[in-house]
Amino acid sequence: MFPSSSTPRPTPAFAPTPDPLTHVRDITHAHFRAGDQVVILKGVAGSELWGDAMRVVAPSWHTPTDEDGWRLRDATGGAQSYITAHPRYLVHLARHCPDCLIHLRAMEDHLLPKHAGADALIDCGWYTITALGQLVHVADARGGR
């Protein structure tokens, strides 16, 4: 489903695609715990979803949404190894919990038909990282933050 973190990914094609599901996802901060492996879904790779695999490190205030968030670590490093994200952006990777599986299936049903037949790695353009190192969904972005 997700490219291996040790396999270098090609630069994704940017294909803005509306995401009506993540922003309204009702998931609480307590759903995730330090040590959980998660993925932040970002787009489509062939006939599967792809995203950034991370590990939940510690609770952290998510300034863009003024809600409890999680500090995440990207084991592959890169320009930014640690970010803060809202829990609704995360999907369990290592354990199959019903809430995350339902969200994953809804994302597949929504996205895969829109990008059927595309062989490229497609970034749907839902996220940006703020100057404070916080991952923000486009639907949560507020001016000045």
Domain assignment of residue 142, yes or no = no
- The whole-angstrom separation of Cα 56 and Cα 112 is 27
From the list 44, 41, 45, 53, the residue with the least C-alpha distance to 6 is 53
pLDDT in tens, 27-48: 999 999 999 999 999 999 988 9
pLDDT surpasses 70 at 13: yes
Domain assignment of residue 127, yes or no = yes
Domain assignment of residue 3, yes or no = no
| Largest pairwise CA distance in the chain | 40
pLDDT in tens, 79-113: 778 999 999 999 999 888 999 999 999 999 999 99
What's 49's domain CATH number?
2.30.30
Domain assignment of residue 143, yes or no = no
Three-state secondary structure call for residue 38:
strand
Supply 58's token pair.
């510690």
Mean pLDDT of the chain: 88
Say what the pLDDT of residue 120 is.
83
Q: What is the pTM of this model?
A: 0.85
Q: What is the extent of the structural domain holding 118?
A: 13-137
Say what the pLDDT of residue 4 is.
47
Say what the pLDDT of residue 145 is.
46
Instruction: Give me the number of domains the chain comprises.
Output: 1
Domain assignment of residue 82, yes or no = yes
Which amino acid does the sequence have at 96? H
- With beta carbons less than 8 A apart as the criterion, state whether 22 and 126 touch: yes
